Structures are given as C-alpha cells and as structure tokens.
Homo-oligomer: A and B are copies of this chain.
Amino acid sequence: MIQTLEWTKAGVRFLDQTKLPTEEVYVTCRSYQEVADVIRGMVVRGAPAIGVAAAMGIALGVESSRAQTLEEFERELHEICRVIGETRPTAVNLFWAIRRMQEKFQSLRACPLSKIRRGLVEEAQRMHVEDISINQAMGRHGAVLMPASGGVLTHCNAGALATCGYGTALGVVRAAVEQGKQLHVYADETRPFLQGARLTAWELVKDGIPTTVISDSMSGAMMRQGKIGAVIVGADRIAANGDVANKIGTYTVAVLAREHAIPFYVAAPLSTIDLLTPEGSQIPIEQRDPSEVTHIAGKPITPPGVEVENPAFDVTPARFVSAIVTEHGIARAPYEQSLTSLVRAAADGHRPPE
C-alpha cells in the first residue's frame, strides 16, 4: 500500500510527489512550518491528503510546544493553525481539518497539557485511519456507477496519492476493478503539474490497472472515438449547490462529457462539501507561480516576456455533474437537498462502515 503520508517517531513522513514517477523518495518534516512548506510546495497534494497533513502538522506543532499554561498553549495552537491555514486556499479539507483539531482542543481544555498534546496527536492519527476507510466506503458506493468494461477518463490525481490511501475517484475505480469490472483508465496528463502523467499513471501501473496517459488536449478526441464510457474526478471543494472546484481542466472535461452524453462523476468525502459556500463562484481559486506554466523540468518552454495564467483550479457548475459519490452514499441533483441530507445524516452519527 502506498504511504502518502505517515506519522512516525521522527516526524511526519511524506512521499515526495514532486519527484514521482522517476524517484520514490520521502521527506520527513520535524516542525509544523516544514509541514506548511510541503503542503505549499505540493510535496503532498490532493484535498483529503492536505486535510490530514494539516492535522498532523498541527499535532507536530503542539507535540513540541513548550507552553506551560493553557493560555500559552492556546496562543501557540492559534499561530500554528494560522500558518497551516495560509498554505493553499481552495481545498476546503484544509480548513475542515484545522477546525476539527481546534474542536478537539476545546473538548480537552479541562485536561492537563500533556493529555491535550496526546489527544491532538491521536486525533490526527485517527483522521489518517478514517480517511482510508472513508475512501473504501466511497469505492463501494461508487463502483456501481462504473461501466462493466471499457474506458474511464480521469483528470489530475484523485488516488491513493491524493489521500491517505485507496483514493476517491481512483478508489471508485479500484472498487469496480475488485468487483470484476474490466476498466481501462484514460489519465489526462494534467498540465501544468502533470499529476495525471506522473501520479495517476504511477499508482495505477503499480496496481496493474490498465492505464493510458493522454495529453489534456486529447480527451475530446478520445470521447469522440467512443473510447470513454464514464468520467470520474475528485474535488477540492464542493459548494452547497453542487458546483465543484477541482483541478484546472476539470470544467473542460465536464463540457466535453456532456457533449458526448458521457456521465460525469465526482468522488469526494463529506469533508470536501462546504455547505457554507452557497455556490461555486464564491470558492477562492488559488493562482500559482507562473513558472509552473513557463517551465517544464526546469527548462523554459515559453519566450521571455510572455504573460501566463496559472489558476490551479476551475469550477464545474452542478448542471454538468451526473452524481457525487461520498462515503455516505451518492448525491444527485438537486444537490442543495441531496448534499445537505448526506451531511446531516453523517452529523447525526451515521459513521461510514469501516
């Protein structure tokens, strides 16, 4: 099993996703600032993985805190959360994880500091374990949506590497393959960061799932040739109305899917659903460094002086989304109702089967 991130005695260990697929190297963070850096630098990426990384970063920070009083501790926790919270603005799982750690602190504030520290470290580790079982539940719910055989297109990486293991969109693919479905994954390479070519292909080849990498510009032609039976992607934030923020290019794939009457599915844990954001236009979109577009592997591909755009995400309106797969079941339009119901059912204590 791929260990995307892991709590170890030496610190939080991350598989360095900027080096894949050519090098499989690990980075161990010994401070919360180092965790913030690896999130910002996309050593770890993918909304669910970012969430757990944030929680572990907070745990690391409070574990090494020298605070002697609750007041001091709370001030440090606040600062740690502020630094971690400023790494990446779009993935709502980051803020969900910070809130969960803050709530855990509140529930423990009557305890001695040593117990609070231990409690927060355990909470971060629990989130890691939960994330994997959430993905497996998502896989069970979503597998039924996959065709019995044929091509399934995915964009970016919503796999084991975007989570603590198994994956969201690729978790659904894995579950379908485990059920005997004969799927062939078409992976958009996903410029500028090449998550599809580098990461999705790497983890699917490892699992023996047939995979074809295509340039992003080829997905339309593949659909027109009848090679794609379904599209499944992850999400970085889903607004209350079902609008989906996901890796730049997802919207293009959704428009193409509708043109070819191909179902377009999104797989994401409930922690990605942001009921406080009514619609997609209100989701903040991260603009990343122009050098991701102007350079590949350190080599310039554009002439000096040219402008570039580099939005990391786009928003796919809910009307393009055939269904949203969560660990608590499948939501369909109208999403205002279906998403709220799922989130409420989960809050009422119906935990996903583990």
| Chain A residues within CB distance 8 Å of chain B | 20-22, 155, 188-192, 194, 197-198, 201-202, 204-205, 210-222, 224, 247-249, 251-252, 255-256, 259, 293-294, 296-297, 299-311, 314-315
Would you call A255 and B297 a contact (CB within 8 A)? Answer: no
13 contacts between A and B (CB under 8 A): A20-B303, A21-B301, A197-B301, A201-B306, A204-B306, A205-B305, A210-B307, A211-B307, A212-B308, A214-B308, A222-B309, A224-B314, A297-B301
Q: A191 contacts which chain B residues (CB < 8 A)?
A: 189, 191, 215-217
Q: What's the number of copies of this chain in the assembled complex? A: 2
Q: A189-B293, A191-B216 are in contact. List 7 more A-B contacts (CB 8 A).
A: A188-B217, A198-B301, A201-B302, A205-B303, A217-B247, A255-B259, A297-B297
Q: A306 contacts which chain B residues (CB < 8 A)?
A: 201, 204-205, 211-213
| Nearest Cβ on chain B to A331's Cβ, whole angstroms | 23
Q: A210 contacts which chain B residues (CB < 8 A)?
A: 307
How far is it, in angstroms, between the C-alpha of A211 and the C-alpha of B306 when the chains are bound? Answer: 6
Q: A296 contacts which chain B residues (CB < 8 A)?
A: 296-297, 299
Would you call A194 and B248 a contact (CB within 8 A)? Answer: no
Q: A307 contacts which chain B residues (CB < 8 A)?
A: 210-213
How far is it, in angstroms, between the C-alpha of A222 and the C-alpha of B251 when the chains are bound? Answer: 11
Please judge, given known A-B contacts A197-B301, A256-B255, A314-B224, whether A309 and B217 are in contact too, CB under 8 Å: no
Which of B212, B251, B309, B315 lies in contact with A214, CB distance below 8 A?
A: B309
How far is it, in angstroms, between the C-alpha of A70 and the C-alpha of B309 when the chains are bound? Answer: 59
Q: A252 contacts which chain B residues (CB < 8 A)?
A: 217, 219-221, 252, 256
| Nearest Cβ on chain B to A213's Cβ, whole angstroms | 5
| Nearest Cβ on chain B to A55's Cβ, whole angstroms | 30
Would you call A293 and B213 a contact (CB within 8 A)? Answer: yes
Please judge, given known A-B contacts A256-B255, A302-B21, A314-B224, whether A216 and B213 are in contact too, CB under 8 Å: no
| Nearest Cβ on chain B to A335's Cβ, whole angstroms | 19
Q: Which 9 A-B pairs have the closest CB atoms?
A: A217-B249, A220-B252, A21-B303, A221-B314, A191-B215, A212-B307, A216-B217, A297-B299, A201-B306
How far is it, in angstroms, between the C-alpha of A204 and the C-alpha of B212 when the chains are bound? Answer: 35
How far is it, in angstroms, between the C-alpha of A255 and the C-alpha of B256 when the chains are bound? Answer: 7
Which of B194, B308, B309, B310 lies in contact with A301, CB distance below 8 A?
A: B194
